[in-house]
Amino acid sequence: MEDIKTDLLVIGAGSGGLSVAAGAVQMGASVVLLEGHEMGGDCLNWGCVPSKALIASGKAAYGQAHAAAYGVKDVTPAVDYAAAKDHVADVIAQIEPMDSQERFEGLGVQVIRAFGTFVSERVVEAGAHRITARRVVIATGSSPLVPPIPGLDNVPWLTNETLFDLKEKPEHLLIIGGGPIGIEMAQAHVRLGCQVTVIEGAKALGRDDPEIAAFVLDQLRDEGVEIAEDALAAEITGGRGDITVATKDGRSFSGTHLLMAVGRKANVDRLNLEAAGIAQTRTGIKVDDSLKTTNKRVYAIGDVAGGAQFTHVAGYHAGVIIRSALFGLPAKARTDHIPYATYTDPELAQIGPTEAEAREIYGDKLTVARFEITHNDRLIAERKAKGLIKAMVVKGRPVGVSIAGPQAGELINLWALVIANRLKMAAVAAMVSPYPTVGEVNKRVAGAYFSPQLFDNPKVKKVVGLVQRWLP
């Protein structure tokens, strides 16, 4: 077995691990990177990238079938499902070189294509290698959570890790799970000509503000997606091409294909964390505010750290620990400024608490400003003016923002900047947006916050009246 000594060992070549490895090696540290599966991890190969590519195919098909309002004749799109999957593969191939083994070896990282297992607090074995590191970063990500539903072992089923390999179009796709993954794939597939049923044990998009989520769920239902809520799967029967899901309340749903999209679980099974003195929680590895585990030489970032499971969170975590692991400086991870988006049509985006959560936290100190996206002129011109933006504000400072509507994922960027830098609503109100743009809705919700203070305030009216009498 080859013995290797290094400054930094990174376990996992997903978005977080790659960011750490690239930053550390370019700053002068010696870095070893372990990856037992695919370079790029879930995001590139089975998550963010392929799902958004398939969503784009669905959007193109939907546009052909709904063009009459623009003076263009509607046509029934001729969907080639296999070709849509080829499009997905091509998108992955275009991005893949940035995450490749060759690129990172070119940067000076020693890449070992094997899974890592701790044998002591500082030593990890991977294949024929024994690595001793000053610091270790666990960035192993997460995998689909598949609950032990009776009968599931007897039928073929898909997850996000196998769905994108499927070349035959599902006639009727059953999706267990009404979270972002399930809902995104439901809309993409119904637009590509599939019949789709979503089976959710609680409420679809239950993490989101119900008023905001309704815009998406209503749209999916209008497009033909059946969404069954409070439908906890109890048993699965049938076989290839004929699958039935029975729920605890007596309902049953039949289809040709089954997608499991009930959540994610942290990838920790291969690590032998006990040997390194690393504690776990129910959701992943236990970390403190600086992302250190109970072994202070070891960090955990991204999905495996048990918090929000988003690619951009893993990237943010990478920046936090670079400061600590390379420079020995204090660094803590925040969560209040982390946005997320669901890439349906319309999109959803959220940062900070929802309205209900904010009312529970702040009580009477909270002001909620609203702007209906139906009043945005650019979206009126594009016949997409449907949605809502809500800003939760405390003492003039936004603490949370919820958006439903076109480009919500882009609109939330401004609020991420504002909240990260603890700016006030006055900063957004002072911004000048070009007309007509979708981005005006951010300024308009700031205007909605200040309007009652200016236009419904008797003191302001009295002052203006006095000034007008004094002016020459």
Question: Is position 238 annotated in a ligand binding site?
Answer: no
410 annotated binding-site participant: no
Residue 243, annotated as binding a ligand: no
Q: Which two tokens stand for residue 235?
A: 């048993």
Tell me the β-bridge partners of 124. Answer: 118, 131
Rounded Cα gap, residues 193 and 83, in angstroms: 14
Contact yes or no for 255/173 (Cβ under 8 A): yes
178 among annotated binding-site residues: yes
Question: What's the number of CA atoms in the CB half-sphere (13 Å) around residue 401?
Answer: 32
**Pairing assessment for the beta strands 252-255 and 242-247 based on DSSP bridges:** antiparallel
400 annotated to a ligand binding site:
no
- How does strand 233-239 pair with strand 242-247? antiparallel
Determine whether the annotation assigns residue 12 to a binding site: no
Does the annotation list 263 as a binding residue?
yes
CA 309 to CA 290: how far, in whole Å?
Answer: 17
How far out from the chain centre does Cα 353 lie?
16
Does the annotation flag 179 for ligand binding? yes
Is 116 annotated to bind a ligand? Reply is yes
**315 a known binding residue?**
no
Distance, CA of 446 to chain centre: 26
Tell whether residue 199 is among the known ligand binding residues.
no
Is there a contact between 58 and 188 (Cβ–Cβ < 8 Å)? Answer: yes
**183 a known binding residue?**
yes
Q: Among residues 389, 388, 395, which one has the least CA distance to residue 364?
A: 395
CB 215 within 8 A of CB 387: yes
Q: How many residues does the chain have?
A: 472
Is 210 marked as a binding-site residue?
A: no
The answer to whether 63 is annotated as binding is: no
**Chain center to CA of 290:** 22
Q: Specify whether the CB–CB gap between 411 and 401 falls below 8 A.
A: no
Q: Residue positions in the annotated binding site for FAD?
A: 52, 116, 140-142, 303
Q: Residue positions in the annotated binding site for NAD(+)?
A: 177-184, 200, 263
Q: Residue positions in the annotated binding site?
A: 52, 116, 140-142, 177-184, 200, 263, 303
